[in-house]
Chain A
Amino acid sequence: MDYRPEVINKLSEIYSGSHGTFLKNSPEIFNRHRETAYKEFLRLGIPDRKNEAYKYTNLEKSFGYPYQVYYSPVPQDFREAEKFHCEVEDLDVWNMVLLNGFFPRGEEGLVMLPGGIWVGSMKAAAKQFPGLVEKHYNKYVQGENDGLVPLNTAMASDGLFLYAPKNTAYTKPIQIVNLLHSDQDIFAQDRNLVVVEDRAQLSLLVCDHAISPQHFLTNTVTEVYVGQNSRFEIIRVQNQHNNSGKITHTFIHQERDSYASSNNITLHGGLVRNATWHMLNGENSETHSYGLYLADKQQHIANFVKVDHAAPNCNSTQLFKGVLDENSSGAFNGRIMVHKIAQGTNAYQSNNNILLSDAARMDTKPQLEIYADDVKCSHGATVGQLDNNALFYLRSRGIDAREAKLMLMFGFAHDVIKNIPIEALRERIDNLVQKRLRGELSRCASCAIQCN
């Protein structure tokens, strides 16, 4: 039976029921887009497997819990959040913790970092930079037939705001820790905006953690504007327990001569779906999308990438790799779109997967859609096991079978990890992945929740 009408009904009740709270708790600009987005959501609904982008991803399980859909934080909630410490050693970053999609310091939460970069809540930003927020908010979202994007616009009430004005740079990465903590099942929707103006530079690290065993579902929309000659990096480290669902939509809009990269490292999570849209709108820009996923148990990890070459002479790469064990399943859905005007395009797309168990499953759909002729586009996808020749090579040099397998798998994963621009993090992830591949569960072993 279709579960969706019931969920949509519930969402509608909450939408109309908490409308007052929404309006009160959110910036005015959020409220202005709410109604249209809500109608759009009703039109599109929750995507099912008939939707090409969700062909291999079933959201039913994630939407099936009695979520307290509208969550409004109270001060004591944040006490728990403040206890949180990032366990990556030597990570030199500027750090901030978000709880269930909310900014702990509330209205005051907008700070200027050395170098002139602003970071804080959307609520505060809408007050301090109304013109800027107005100019960029809800301008880069796409999503074609994905109803979850308008659902976020309709129901989100806060999120992260990051602003690098012209000619500014902050040498350290900015780390945002998204904590999920509640004694109820929560459906959180946060809405983030990153504006990197001309000749500015910004590096963002987003870590997701769930610290209580409840069921969580997060539906995040992040819009990024990357101005001329500027540089932006985003790294996501997703490490939530198996009761949680994480759906992200990231829209990166690039102007000419800009550089952007996105790294999605998915180590854990019941259901994870990362959609990353790279829109190359100015000539000579460059964009990279990387992803690594290690899944076991019943996890499902999906990556959706669209690189939209809408200007000439741009370069793009996509590299996604996965190792799937036990009953897990993975999906990759990548598309390179080259518009007629985008002559001189150089685009590359690759998705490689290793299946470790009989029940693991991988579906991949790398696609090219090309309307210009002076292009070099290629893509490749593989699903298989470790190369027997390589294994033999190692074993003939006295390395035992298990160690040889680990070495190969680690090398396989490192291809993606080596693109992480923050050294301390790169080492940490290397370490985590190695532990994980060895079977010393990197998350569950140290986790107090022990969900399953």
Chain B
Amino acid sequence: MREVAIIGIGQTPVGEHWEKGLRELALEALEAAIRDAGVERLDALYIGNMLSGQVESQEHLGALVADFAGMHGVEAVKVEAACASGAAALRIGYAMVAGGLADFVAVVGVEKMTDASGEAITAALATAADAEYEAVHGMTFTALNALLMRRYMHEYGYRREDFAPFSINAHRNAVHNPCAMLRFPITAEAFASARMIADPITLLDASPVCDGAAAVILCPADQARAFQERPVRIRASAVATDTVALHDRRDPLWLEAVALSAYRAFQQAGVRPEDVDFFELHDAFTIMAALSLEASGFAPRGRGVAMALEGAIFRDGRLPIATMGGLKARGHPVGATGIYQVVEAVLQLRGQAGPNQIPNARLGMTQNIGGTGATVITHILEAMD
């Protein structure tokens, strides 16, 4: 296997892009990444996307984006794994370069959510759950996370307000991210009085519906310096799966695919959790952030929220998370999110994160979660010397 490096990154601002469709968003991110890498040719293009068929009546995004980008004849396919589609596409691109089947690969995550009504998006997102045994009972994605959050509060004795530091941290970090959607700080008081979506989850526990695209360019690590002064090495790339339905899990509060995926990633990279300088986790809801910290090995069971309350997740803490706003405040354009996480991790590892820079960041971890934890994809990235 060859070592793989990220030599280019690109992203559109996350938000409501009324003037742009799927192909325009994808191209904007792809062009930015190609410019950043300074590459002339690409061997393959992988598109991470979840909802294009439902929201835009458009599938076949591999060929669509390749054609629109003027890359006639190039190998291109769409990769889907619900909210983990972005990282799943990166996994495929990584495997192609590592395995020697391609040298220069572009991976684009793109999602267009604002062309559908709220009820339609809620129904579309629920397709990541079990259609026959969850969604048919009126389960929404927020509801599934609310079931987890209530049970977590019941078992470990937390109050709803105890989850506030996750959202306060994310919003504070989004202020300085020009591509973030919600660039304003929030207070604990605002968190406590936010509008209820699915009890106990409020608007300020949940990531927003939005549009966006992000892209990375990969190549063999031994060629990276010819293109990029500060390349980033992919030290680990690990996928794990669990039951699609939450009710099929032996212990719903333990995200087994998170544990497996993180364990495999640490093994591949030959590092331990305490070696990681920052963690771009999947904070689609505050409860997901807590459960991810626990199953990834950063906090003991039931202590994910305590870790946030102690301030360990802030920029000056032991393990900064959501350093550019996370899903909560940068926004969660579902199929693009996994690539946004990686783009932000690369900015940190290059020392280009501006006011949000984590001092001396060398090793970063990203984790993209599909559904309530049915597909989990962890990457560990390292600044190349």
Do A and B actually bind?
Answer: no
Q: Which residues of B contact A (CB under 8 A)?
A: none
Q: Which residues of A contact B (CB under 8 A)?
A: none
